[in-house]
Amino acid sequence: GIQVEQSPPDLILQEGANSTLRCNFSDSVNNLQWFHQNPWGQLINLFYIPSGTKQNGRLSATTVATERYSLLYISSSQTTDSGVYFCAVTGNQGGKLIFGQGTELSVKP
Partner 1 sequence: SAVISQKPSRDICQRGTSLTIQCQVDSQVTMMFWYRQQPGQSLTLIATANQGSEATYESGFVIDKFPISRPNLTFSTLTVSNMSPEDSSIYLCSVDVGLNTGELFFGEGSRLTVL
For partner 1, which is the closer residue by CB, 25 or 35? 35
Long-range contacts at 39-42 (CB < 8 A, ≥ 24 apart): 39/82, 39/83
CA pair distance 71, 64, nearest whole angstrom: 9
Closest CA to 30 of 53, 7, 48: 48
Three-class DSSP category at 67 = helix
Q: Does 83 bind partner 1 (CB under 8 A)?
A: no
Total interface residues for partner 1 by CB under 8 A: 20
Q: Does 96 bind partner 1 (CB under 8 A)?
A: yes
Q: Does 14 bind partner 1 (CB under 8 A)?
A: no
Q: Does 43 bind partner 1 (CB under 8 A)?
A: yes
Which residues here bind partner 1, judged by CB under 8 A?
A: 30-31, 33, 35, 40-43, 45, 48, 86, 88, 90, 94, 96-97, 99-102
